[in-house]
Chains A and B, each alone.
Chain A
Amino acid sequence: SQTIHQWPATLVQPVGSPLSLECTVEGTSNPNLYWYRQAAGRGLQLLFYSVGIGQISSEVPQNLSASRPQDRQFILSSKKLLLSDSGFYLCATEWSGDTGELFFGEGSRLTVL
Protein backbone atom coordinates (compact mmCIF):
# COMPACT_ATOMS: atom_id res chain seq x y z
CA SER A 1 0.00 0.00 0.00
CA GLN A 2 1.03 3.59 -0.54
CA THR A 3 2.54 5.57 2.31
CA ILE A 4 3.89 9.08 2.43
CA HIS A 5 6.22 10.61 4.97
CA GLN A 6 7.58 14.08 5.46
CA TRP A 7 9.96 15.66 7.93
CA PRO A 8 10.75 17.46 10.05
CA ALA A 9 7.40 17.71 11.82
CA THR A 10 8.13 21.02 13.51
CA LEU A 11 10.76 23.66 13.07
CA VAL A 12 11.42 27.19 14.23
CA GLN A 13 13.73 29.19 12.02
CA PRO A 14 15.03 32.76 12.07
CA VAL A 15 14.29 35.13 9.20
CA GLY A 16 16.92 34.78 6.50
CA SER A 17 17.84 31.20 7.33
CA PRO A 18 17.57 28.34 4.82
CA LEU A 19 14.88 25.67 4.74
CA SER A 20 14.69 22.09 3.60
CA LEU A 21 11.60 19.90 3.97
CA GLU A 22 11.69 16.38 2.65
CA CYS A 23 8.93 14.06 1.50
CA THR A 24 9.14 10.43 0.42
CA VAL A 25 6.51 8.09 -0.96
CA GLU A 26 6.49 4.30 -0.80
CA GLY A 27 4.39 1.65 -2.46
CA THR A 28 4.04 3.29 -5.86
CA SER A 29 6.18 4.37 -8.77
CA ASN A 30 6.19 7.62 -10.74
CA PRO A 31 3.71 9.32 -8.41
CA ASN A 32 2.41 12.84 -8.89
CA LEU A 33 3.68 14.83 -5.92
CA TYR A 34 2.51 18.11 -4.43
CA TRP A 35 3.63 20.68 -1.90
CA TYR A 36 0.89 22.70 -0.23
CA ARG A 37 0.98 25.42 2.38
CA GLN A 38 -1.82 26.10 4.82
CA ALA A 39 -1.82 29.41 6.67
CA ALA A 40 -3.83 29.66 9.87
CA GLY A 41 -7.57 29.66 9.13
CA ARG A 42 -7.07 29.49 5.40
CA GLY A 43 -7.40 26.95 2.65
CA LEU A 44 -4.66 24.90 1.10
CA GLN A 45 -2.42 26.79 -1.30
CA LEU A 46 -0.68 24.72 -3.95
CA LEU A 47 2.99 25.64 -4.13
CA PHE A 48 4.56 23.06 -6.45
CA TYR A 49 3.65 19.86 -8.18
CA SER A 50 5.73 17.30 -9.99
CA VAL A 51 4.80 14.58 -12.46
CA GLY A 52 8.27 13.03 -12.64
CA ILE A 53 11.96 13.30 -11.78
CA GLY A 54 13.24 16.80 -12.41
CA GLN A 55 9.80 18.03 -13.52
CA ILE A 56 8.56 20.82 -11.27
CA SER A 57 5.67 23.21 -11.84
CA SER A 58 5.41 26.30 -9.68
CA GLU A 59 2.00 27.72 -8.91
CA VAL A 60 2.93 30.91 -7.11
CA PRO A 61 5.96 33.21 -7.31
CA GLN A 62 7.86 33.15 -4.04
CA ASN A 63 11.21 32.56 -2.46
CA LEU A 64 10.59 28.82 -2.21
CA SER A 65 11.79 26.16 -4.62
CA ALA A 66 11.20 22.46 -5.05
CA SER A 67 13.24 19.60 -6.41
CA ARG A 68 12.62 15.98 -7.24
CA PRO A 69 15.96 14.23 -7.30
CA GLN A 70 14.46 10.73 -7.20
CA ASP A 71 11.18 9.21 -8.32
CA ARG A 72 9.68 9.09 -4.84
CA GLN A 73 11.43 12.03 -3.20
CA PHE A 74 10.22 15.61 -3.20
CA ILE A 75 12.06 18.44 -1.45
CA LEU A 76 10.91 21.94 -0.60
CA SER A 77 13.64 24.52 -0.05
CA SER A 78 14.36 28.14 0.58
CA LYS A 79 17.65 30.00 0.67
CA LYS A 80 16.33 32.81 2.89
CA LEU A 81 13.11 32.48 4.85
CA LEU A 82 10.65 35.34 5.27
CA LEU A 83 8.21 35.87 8.12
CA SER A 84 5.40 35.21 5.67
CA ASP A 85 6.75 31.70 5.03
CA SER A 86 5.37 30.54 8.38
CA GLY A 87 2.67 27.93 8.00
CA PHE A 88 1.79 24.28 7.82
CA TYR A 89 3.44 22.57 4.87
CA LEU A 90 1.94 19.43 3.45
CA CYS A 91 3.30 16.99 0.94
CA ALA A 92 0.71 14.99 -0.94
CA THR A 93 0.34 12.35 -3.60
CA GLU A 94 -2.61 10.89 -5.45
CA TRP A 95 -4.17 7.66 -4.39
CA SER A 96 -3.88 5.14 -7.18
CA GLY A 97 -7.55 4.15 -6.98
CA ASP A 98 -10.48 5.26 -9.13
CA THR A 99 -11.11 8.62 -7.52
CA GLY A 100 -7.50 9.81 -7.43
CA GLU A 101 -7.95 11.65 -4.19
CA LEU A 102 -4.95 13.19 -2.52
CA PHE A 103 -3.48 11.76 0.61
CA PHE A 104 -1.08 13.72 2.70
CA GLY A 105 2.06 13.37 4.71
CA GLU A 106 2.02 14.23 8.38
CA GLY A 107 2.77 17.89 7.76
CA SER A 108 5.59 20.21 8.78
CA ARG A 109 4.82 23.23 10.93
CA LEU A 110 7.23 26.05 10.22
CA THR A 111 7.51 29.13 12.39
CA VAL A 112 9.75 31.90 11.14
CA LEU A 113 10.79 34.40 13.81
Chain B
Amino acid sequence: GQNIDQPTEMTATEGAIVQINCTYQTSGFNGLFWYQQHAGEAPTFLSYNVLDGLEEKGRFSSFLSRSKGYSYLLLKELQMKDSASYLCAVRDSNYQLIWGAGTKLIIKP
Protein backbone atom coordinates (compact mmCIF):
# COMPACT_ATOMS: atom_id res chain seq x y z
CA GLY B 1 0.00 0.00 0.00
CA GLN B 2 0.90 3.63 -0.21
CA ASN B 3 2.05 5.38 2.91
CA ILE B 4 3.34 8.72 4.08
CA ASP B 5 4.80 9.16 7.55
CA GLN B 6 5.43 12.37 9.40
CA PRO B 7 5.64 13.12 13.13
CA THR B 8 2.34 13.86 14.81
CA GLU B 9 3.50 16.87 16.79
CA MET B 10 6.60 19.00 17.28
CA THR B 11 7.42 21.89 19.57
CA ALA B 12 9.91 24.66 18.88
CA THR B 13 10.86 28.05 20.23
CA GLU B 14 10.20 31.39 18.60
CA GLY B 15 13.23 32.50 16.59
CA ALA B 16 14.64 28.99 16.30
CA ILE B 17 14.83 26.53 13.40
CA VAL B 18 12.73 23.40 13.03
CA GLN B 19 12.87 20.51 10.57
CA ILE B 20 9.76 18.46 9.82
CA ASN B 21 10.46 15.12 8.18
CA CYS B 22 8.34 13.14 5.78
CA THR B 23 9.00 9.65 4.47
CA TYR B 24 6.94 8.06 1.77
CA GLN B 25 6.28 4.79 0.01
CA THR B 26 4.15 5.29 -3.07
CA SER B 27 3.43 3.71 -6.42
CA GLY B 28 5.62 5.96 -8.49
CA PHE B 29 6.54 9.57 -7.87
CA ASN B 30 5.50 12.73 -9.64
CA GLY B 31 6.29 15.37 -7.08
CA LEU B 32 6.06 16.13 -3.39
CA PHE B 33 4.13 18.99 -1.85
CA TRP B 34 4.14 20.71 1.52
CA TYR B 35 1.09 22.56 2.76
CA GLN B 36 0.46 24.68 5.83
CA GLN B 37 -2.87 24.43 7.61
CA HIS B 38 -3.86 26.72 10.45
CA ALA B 39 -6.45 25.39 12.87
CA GLY B 40 -9.93 25.55 11.38
CA GLU B 41 -8.71 26.69 7.99
CA ALA B 42 -8.00 25.11 4.63
CA PRO B 43 -4.47 24.01 3.69
CA THR B 44 -2.35 26.47 1.72
CA PHE B 45 0.47 25.51 -0.63
CA LEU B 46 4.03 26.03 0.61
CA SER B 47 6.44 24.18 -1.65
CA TYR B 48 6.93 21.64 -4.40
CA ASN B 49 9.85 19.29 -5.05
CA VAL B 50 10.18 16.96 -8.00
CA LEU B 51 13.96 16.74 -8.31
CA ASP B 52 16.46 15.90 -5.58
CA GLY B 53 17.78 18.80 -3.63
CA LEU B 54 16.78 21.87 -1.72
CA GLU B 55 14.17 24.42 -2.73
CA GLU B 56 14.32 27.67 -0.78
CA LYS B 57 11.49 30.13 -0.44
CA GLY B 58 12.14 32.82 2.12
CA ARG B 59 12.16 31.40 5.65
CA PHE B 60 10.94 28.04 4.36
CA SER B 61 13.00 25.40 2.53
CA SER B 62 12.08 21.93 1.37
CA PHE B 63 14.44 19.08 0.59
CA LEU B 64 13.85 15.91 -1.39
CA SER B 65 15.73 12.62 -1.79
CA ARG B 66 13.84 10.37 -4.15
CA SER B 67 16.18 7.41 -3.63
CA LYS B 68 15.47 7.50 0.11
CA GLY B 69 11.78 8.35 -0.18
CA TYR B 70 12.42 11.29 2.13
CA SER B 71 11.68 14.96 2.37
CA TYR B 72 11.91 17.62 5.00
CA LEU B 73 10.51 21.08 5.48
CA LEU B 74 12.84 23.51 7.22
CA LEU B 75 11.43 26.58 8.90
CA LYS B 76 13.86 29.29 10.01
CA GLU B 77 13.42 32.27 12.32
CA LEU B 78 10.24 30.81 13.69
CA GLN B 79 7.38 33.16 14.39
CA MET B 80 4.29 32.56 16.49
CA LYS B 81 2.18 32.64 13.32
CA ASP B 82 4.03 29.53 12.12
CA SER B 83 2.05 27.50 14.67
CA ALA B 84 0.04 25.26 12.37
CA SER B 85 -0.12 21.78 10.94
CA TYR B 86 2.20 20.95 8.05
CA LEU B 87 1.00 18.39 5.54
CA CYS B 88 3.22 16.34 3.25
CA ALA B 89 1.66 14.97 0.05
CA VAL B 90 3.08 12.89 -2.79
CA ARG B 91 1.70 12.65 -6.30
CA ASP B 92 1.92 9.05 -7.45
CA SER B 93 2.25 7.48 -10.89
CA ASN B 94 -1.49 7.93 -11.47
CA TYR B 95 -1.17 11.62 -10.58
CA GLN B 96 -3.21 11.05 -7.44
CA LEU B 97 -2.19 12.86 -4.28
CA ILE B 98 -1.36 10.72 -1.25
CA TRP B 99 -1.53 12.73 1.98
CA GLY B 100 0.26 12.38 5.27
CA ALA B 101 -1.71 12.96 8.47
CA GLY B 102 0.15 16.19 9.14
CA THR B 103 2.56 17.47 11.78
CA LYS B 104 1.20 19.90 14.33
CA LEU B 105 3.88 22.48 15.07
CA ILE B 106 3.63 24.34 18.36
CA ILE B 107 5.74 27.48 18.74
CA LYS B 108 6.56 28.65 22.26
CA PRO B 109 7.73 32.16 23.11
Contacts and interface: CB of A to CB of B under 8 A. Distances in A.
Interface of A: 41-46, 90, 95, 99, 101-107, 109
Contact of B87 (A44, A106, A107): A44
Chain B: interface size category? 20 to 34
Interface stretch (B37-45, B56-64, B72-80): B37-45
Contacts of B29: none
21 contacts: A41-B8, A43-B4, A43-B87, A43-B99, A43-B101, A43-B102, A44-B43, A44-B87, A44-B99, A45-B99, A90-B42, A90-B43, A95-B45, A99-B48, A102-B33, A104-B44, A105-B42, A106-B42, A107-B40, A107-B41, A107-B42
A82 to B, nearest CB: 22
B45 A101 contact: yes
Given A43-B102, A103-B44, A104-B43, 7 more contacts: A41-B8, A42-B101, A45-B99, A102-B97, A103-B45, A107-B40, A109-B40
Contacts of A103: 44-45
A9 B22 CA distance: 31
B101 A41 contact: yes
Contacts of A107: 40-42
B7 interface: no
Given A43-B87, A43-B100, A46-B97, A101 B48 contact: yes
